[in-house]
Amino acid sequence: MFDDEFDEDWGPVDETLRRYEEVKSGESASILDEEEFERVIEYYFQNSNEEQALLACEIARTYYPFSASVLLLRAEILTQAQKYGQALKALDEMEQYDKNNLDAVLLRSDILLSQFKYDQAALWLEQRSEDYHGKEKIEILLELSDVYDESEEFDAVFDTLKRVIKIDRRNEEALQKICFWAEFTGRLEESVTIHTQLSDDDPYNPLAWFNLGAAYQGLKMYEKCIDAYEYCVAIDEKFEFAYRNMADAYMRLKWYARALEVLEKHIEIAKPEDVIFEAMGFCWEKQKDFARARQFYRQASQLSPQDDGIFYKIGETYAREKQWEKAVKSFSVALHLDKENASYCMAIGNCLMEMDVKSEALVCYLNAVRLKPGNKTTWVALIRGLFLTGYYDEAITQLAVAREHCGEKGDFYYYHAATLFQLGKAKEAQLQLEKGLKMSPTRIKVFTGLNPEFLLRSAVAEAISKHKKK
């Protein structure tokens, strides 16, 4: 009747199920022992046959009315069926026979959580944790930390994990979680204190050193965090995240050669990942070795071919080398993957301007403005393009539209002034220049960069000099 189902604890289940069917139908004079009934209940429960599982519980209770394990199984089945009231009654009855059953304690907490009774669940676990010691107490406290997480009492999560570590300073789950919650709750300095003490008491605990490094990293104390990660990987040379974080710290310090050494070590011990290759490309790019940067960016793109950002970075390396055609190809791939990205449109437009394909460049700038009409940068790119191509009247028209979308900006005054000077409207230009200097004096390079000969005009030179003195 049953297939050769096999239970890891008890072996083939078909014979037990056959005997259960005989007991159920009254055909057998013998009965199943308590463990055999549990096995039948588990079988139906695991096969999502709630009705038969509950029936098996009822039959088992006629033979073993004081069985705590059968009652616990009944409570678990009812909980999964979201019959929480009946499940709690089963637990209440069960606790008469086995008051300190840890599974029952945790199941009641789960039921209260499912009913969104967070305070009751937390109070229940807090009270019951006093009745347990060692591993069982830790299990209750870890459950309690999850309850506090659900109820968004995040500081209480951190404090509960501290209690776990006080009992077991090598508890992996608590150490991994407290690292995250230290940053999330802004208790990084406290985390430094906790893990400094922990690493002093247990100097060969790699997670303690890692958490210490992560806390220092969150506080932007990069050299100290690197020291902690060094201890971590000295103890466990395959601790992947320590290498990642250490490399990040080196990059923050702009020590790109050292970051590369750490990332190369990461590649030796772990599976290839796009983020690692991308980080290596970034380091080589910062060292102005653009060919090698592209080599690693391309390895990243092979692992993540839909990541438009990587192709954009490849394009930037070509642009830095003034290889405009190759840059356009890479930027175009990025735009193909993300057609709504205004930055990619501007990057292509900038390359086309350098290649003297100005009409196509202006189309790219117009697309950027269409995609991000409220962004000053897109308007500046378009207006600059119009200025450089000699469309001065159109530049002034677009400046008016830009102001409607973005409001008054210092850069707009400078572009307006430069354009008016080019049109021979010196008085109007001077007024716009004065407004620009008043609003954004540090942005004067926008104006002088468009045409350095503007500085030869005495009125311009005097205005700039006056604002410098101010």
Q: What is the pLDDT of residue 48?
A: 78
Q: What is the pLDDT of residue 17?
A: 75
Three-state DSSP state, 169: coil
Mean pLDDT throughout 152-176? 97
Q: Over the stretch 224-272, which tens digit does the pLDDT of each residue have? A: 999 999 999 999 999 999 999 999 999 999 999 999 999 999 999 999 9
Instruction: Tell whether the model's pLDDT for residue 332 goes beyond 70.
Output: yes
pLDDT confidence bin for 296, thresholds 50/70/90: very high
Q: What percent of the chain shows pLDDT beyond 90?
A: 80
Q: What percent of the chain shows pLDDT beyond 70?
A: 96
CA distance 244 to 276: 8
Instruction: Tell whether the model's pLDDT for residue 185 goes beyond 80.
Output: yes
CA distance 229 to 238: 12
Q: What is the pLDDT of residue 470?
A: 65
Which of the pair, 56 or 332, is modelled with greater confidence?
Answer: 332
Q: What is the pLDDT of residue 358?
A: 93
Check if the beta carbon of residue 304 is closer than 8 Å to that of residue 273: no
- What's the CATH code, domain 186-270? 1.25.40.10
Average confidence score pLDDT of the chain: 92
Q: Residue ranges per domain, the chain?
A: 186-270, 408-470
Mean pLDDT throughout 334-348? 97
pLDDT confidence bin for 192, thresholds 50/70/90: very high
Instruction: Tell whether the model's pLDDT for residue 55 goes beyond 90.
Output: no
Check if the beta carbon of residue 97 is closer than 8 Å to that of residue 75: no
**Terminal-to-terminal C-alpha distance of the chain:** 97
pLDDT confidence bin for 342, thresholds 50/70/90: very high
Q: Which of 419, 328, 423 is nearest to 382 (CA)?
A: 419
CA distance 199 to 203: 5
- Which residue(s) pair with 6 in the sheet? 12
